[in-house]
Structure 1
Amino acid sequence: MGYKHTEFAHDRMVDLLGKMRQIDRMWELVEKMNQEGFLTLKTIAKVMRRLAGARRWKDVIEFFDNLEYMGCVKNTEVMNLLLDTLCKEKRVEVARETFLVLKNHIAPNAYTFNIFVHGWCSIQRIDEALWTIQEMRGLGFRPTVITYSIIIKAYCNQLNLAKAYEILDRMVAEGCIPNIITYTTLMNLHAKSRQLDEALSIVDKVKSAGCKPDTLFYNSLINILGRTGQLSEALHIYEVEMKMNGVHRNTSTYNTMISILCYHKQWQNALNVLEEMKKSLCMPDLQTYRPLLKLFFSEEELDVQIHSLLNDIVIKRHLSFDLDTYTTLIHGLCRVGNIGCATTLFDEMIDREIQPRRRTCNMLMQEVEQRNMYHYVEKIWNFTKHS
């Protein structure tokens, strides 16, 4: 008696209805929320993102246009929500056209232009992003470290070191000091380009710049050190330096350390890290278990460990296998000759409408052919023919 749904519950239901493409029912709930005074900025953001996700661009803009009739003020913050929604769905040109109409009666701010810089970079149109910075200056806004870091990351995604450092030099010359995100981006670029010494030299730049490393920086550093054979240094970062500097581990930290230890075939140490993870506030996910499973399948006499991990994944953690996990398991089972389990998992994948990779189909086809399982050969052949 007297119970009323909370603001959080209303927002969650709007999000779920939008996610399920139940747009009409979502609208009904939004109207009810508006009448009862539950419509907030968070609700508006969820409605816009779900409409954009359903590719109903005109509805997104129409919803924004009607906000005043719903008692909401159309200000810079709400305009930025609209532009950010369109840009994240890679409709940057639509966002740009909308902005040109709105800017005459809603003043933009620096964040407005950062939205466009990020949007243009996300569709690989960095020249437009650089032009946006000039437009930003023309209206009296100074580019921030975030603005420049977005451009640097875009060039890093193209593995364009020269351009990335050109932007870095420009921002430093303008008195815009790089932050830890900028340095992490550059370190990862060097690692991707297999310039590992240069990647590790970024650590010295971070120290000389007085930047405080964060979790993402340390995660990248642990991975680079581990992949370059400097396992003891990676362990020192994980066990000592992060704690010493007050930087918390996250799920990715544990996953990275487990992956590195598996890479060096130190499965017992990897299991120890897994136990540490379980005792922390970070819950293992599928990415946690995949390198362990891959390693255990490659080693002999580790069947007990494989069964223990699978029990952990399915029974204790209630995790559903994804494409990568199915692939790891089926390939591993084929290597150890357990074709019965491999075909069961293959069937499960198909039932769940998860498309197996071509390599998985070919490997399983070869194994069942060798065992004269002709009915299953035909099944795989029919599946690949129609997929």
Structure 2
Amino acid sequence: MLLRFNRTPSATSLLHTSVTSLYYSHPFSTSPPPAPDAADRTRLLNSIRAVETTATAAAAVDFFHRMLTLVPFPCIQDFNLFFGLVAKSHHHATAISLIKTLHSLSESADVCTLNIFINCLCHLHQTTSGFAVLGLMTKTGVEPTLVTFNTIVNGLCIEGDMDRALWLVEKMETLGYQCNARTYGELVNGLCKIGDTSGAMECLRKMVERNLEPNVVVYNAILDGLCKKGLVNEAFALFREMGVTVEPNVVSYNCLIQGLCGGFEGWREGVVLFNEMVVEKGIAPDVQTFSILVDGFCKEGLVSWAENVMGYMIRTGVEPNVVTYNSLIGGHCLRNWMEEAMRVFRLMFSEGERCLPSVVTYNLLIHGWCRVKEVDKAMSLMGEMVGIGLDPDVVTWTILIGGFCEVRKPLAAKELFFNMKKHGQVPSLHTCAVVLDGLFKCWLDCEAVSLFTAMEKSGLDLDIVIYNIMLDGMCKAGKLDDARKLLSGVVDKGLKIDTYTYNIMIKGLCKEGLLDDAEEMLNKMEENGYQPNKNSYNVFMQGLLRKYDISRSRKYLQIMKDKGFRVDAGTTEFIVRYLSANKGDNAFQEMLLT
């Protein structure tokens, strides 16, 4: 009989009948309960095993309380089987609560119960509490098993706490526990997630040394980690090595194809590998394989090839998913082929409920329309996405704000900035940067300063990028004194000024003819541990030449040459003007030619 954790009356009565009919004792009987025969216990175990993993937490609690009423009382192994199923249903908090309830009834938990308890804690990112349970086990005389330690190691890996995970593995071995393939598999996965592929490779070597055969999942984790770091050659070497003992699967090939498609013209090798997988190995590509190829072709501008891949995948019976469609839409948008992008977008709706667009889909299209300065169509799409129940995210709003700034409608952008907050979206620092930059570029410096003041008062944690935009805008608007005051405030706040900040101020000072102050700022850069770059010197050189300060121009031209910096187009223009007016300055000409 199939039991379902379901709150419907019929299911509840079925649950009651199935469980309570296994054992029976009259509530007022004083006679000892009958011992269950083998058939009774088999029926109980079958009832527990038949519980579906799609069960609700409430139904799990009901089932548990019915187990508590059974006579004779189920043994701890029966409860462990049930707790394990609840945990597999991802009702980890419920499983913890039920185990605690059983313990409060003075029922002794065994090592299996406590392993389930620790596993649930780890899945809830409470691995520290899992350590506490481990300590309790040793105090109460319950001997931890390798499963106990592996569970905690896995929890630490999930939380990215690899230092403690590696420490625990070392501790296990000093206590006499031999790490198995699962231990190393968890370590490999955890190390790859934090980008430590060297550590993962070391674990792999240890597995081989100890005759613990790594499976394809372990190899795939490392392949994925290597490819994400751009170490495609190393990934290929490992791939060929694994082929000696372990058959690669579609995930293995997907990792490598993804890694190849991320490099310049890597799609060529990606196609070769795809053909090897399909033709030589007979491995069927999945939706991820095709999506990777579509994305790779689109990023290279080969959108027609991407269209062909999608056509092929449909013919082979693999349905494109939202990622596939998004890649193709993004490819069309990158080339400003918005009508084609909209055609692909409409295809998603023709697929019915199978592949509805996501927020990312709309963001791609909205960004595309903004790129071609069709902000009205972009706004229309935002209205459409709201109409189908998708909430625009901070990226959506930021794209639109940037779009209105690009078409010289900064006040509309500012209005959108305030509207997004009304719709429950907190502007990101990038959003703030976009709207402030847009206002300054349209010479609405008063509006920008007013909005910046409101941002500061609202408690936004503004970074140096925002302050650089403000400093640049103020300097360009001729408000050098305001810029200096703001710079002083930045220092007082403890924000780290960067090279770009110094270059902005040097340019602003040069524009106002304050060359001594600009030179002092240039020197202060080095005093504060920042090396002036070619932009720093070119900006200052232009200021010197603008004021015909030839003596210092020669000095800094020599400094630039000594540092290996070239004059840029702007500086060259000033030099040409000076030499045209002063053809007899042979020394300056010689400096340029040597």
TM-score (norm 2): 0.53
1:234 aligns with 2:378: yes
CA distance 1:215–1:32, change in 2 (3 Å): farther
Distance in 1 (CA, whole Å) between partners of 2:168 and 2:299 is: 41
Distance in 2 (CA, whole Å) between partners of 1:204 and 1:11 is: 39
Contact residue 367 and residue 400 of structure 2 kept, 8 A: yes
Partner of 1:329: 470
Q: What is the root-mean-square deviation in Å for CA atoms of aligned residues?
A: 3.8
Name the stretch that deviates more: 303-312 or 203-212. Answer: 203-212
CA distance 1:111–1:326, change in 2 (3 Å): farther
Q: How does 1:128-207 map to 2 (within 5 A)?
A: 128-137=269-278, 138-207=280-349
Distance in 2 (CA, whole Å) between partners of 1:226 and 1:48 is: 38
Percent identity between the two aligned chains: 20
Q: Give the superposition deviation at 1:196.
A: 2.9
Residues 108-128 of structure 1, C-alpha deviations (whole Å, 9 max, x = no match) = 221111111101111232222
1:267 aligns with 2:413: yes
Contact residue 293 and residue 306 of structure 1 kept, 8 A: yes
Partner of 2:453: 307
CA distance 1:142–1:326, change in 2 (3 Å): farther
Segments of structure 2 that go 5 or more residues without pairing to the other structure are: 1-127, 133-151, 527-531, 538-562, 566-594
SS in 2 for 1:127: helix
Q: Give the superposition deviation at 1:32.
A: 4.3
Contact residue 206 and residue 213 of structure 1 kept, 8 A: yes
Residues 20-78 of structure 1, C-alpha deviations (whole Å, 9 max, x = no match) = xxxxx98546534887999686653232354647xxx4x43222222478998732222
SS in 1 for 2:446: coil
Distance in 2 (CA, whole Å) between partners of 1:204 and 1:301 is: 43
Distance in 1 (CA, whole Å) between partners of 2:310 and 2:233 is: 27
Q: Give the superposition deviation at 1:159.
A: 1.6
Name the stretch that deviates more: 163-172 or 75-84. Answer: 163-172
Distance in 2 (CA, whole Å) between partners of 1:376 and 1:128 is: 52
Distance in 2 (CA, whole Å) between partners of 1:291 and 1:219 is: 16
CA distance 1:255–1:61, change in 2 (3 Å): same
Distance in 2 (CA, whole Å) between partners of 1:27 and 1:136 is: 36
1:220 aligns with 2:364: yes
Q: Give the superposition deviation at 1:167.
A: 2.7
SS in 1 for 2:500: coil
Residues 330-380 of structure 1, C-alpha deviations (whole Å, 9 max, x = no match) = 3212223333564564986998374429xx82x543321224251333433
Segments of structure 1 that go 5 or more residues without pairing to the other structure are: 18-24
SS in 2 for 1:301: helix
Distance in 2 (CA, whole Å) between partners of 1:5 and 1:354 is: 44
1:375 aligns with 2:517: yes
CA distance 1:284–1:326, change in 2 (3 Å): same
Distance in 2 (CA, whole Å) between partners of 1:60 and 1:107 is: 20
Q: Give the superposition deviation at 1:3.
A: 6.1
| Higher RCO (Cα < 8 Å, 6 or more apart) | 1
| Residue identity opposite 1:129 in structure 2 | G
Contact residue 464 and residue 496 of structure 2 kept, 8 A: no
Equivalences, count: 362
CA distance 1:379–1:232, change in 2 (3 Å): closer
Q: Equivalent of 1:208, from 343, 347, 350?
A: 350
Q: How does 1:353-372 map to 2 (within 5 A)?
A: 354-356=498-500, 361=503, 364-369=505-510, 370-372=512-514
| Residue identity opposite 1:257 in structure 2 | L
Partner of 2:170: 31
CA distance 1:98–1:341, change in 2 (3 Å): farther
Partner of 1:45: 189
Partner of 1:87: 227
TM-score (norm 1): 0.77
